[in-house]
Amino acid sequence: MTDKRDAEKRDADHPTAGTNSRPLNDTIAQTGGGVPDDTSEAVEVEPEEQKRMEDNLLRPR
């Protein structure tokens, strides 16, 4: 079987949007409900960096 036929057979069972084979009806990132299927560590920010970002974001423009 050719590569194209293999891909067509594989994709016939899964509605995808291209070569990444992610189903079209799945959410991206952690925007969907339920438990995310990937785990990541919490971001740690030093207090000084937090203050700098807060001041930058809240300054009048």
Q: Are 49 and 56 in contact (CB under 8 A)?
A: no
pLDDT recorded at residue 56: 95
Give me 38's structure tokens: 């990937």
Instruction: Report pTM.
Output: 0.34
pLDDT recorded at residue 33: 66
**Sequence-distant (≥ 6) Cβ neighbours of residue 25 within 8 angstroms:** 15
pLDDT digits (tens, 9 = 90+) for 3-58: 666 666 665 665 555 666 666 666 666 566 666 666 677 789 999 999 999 999 99
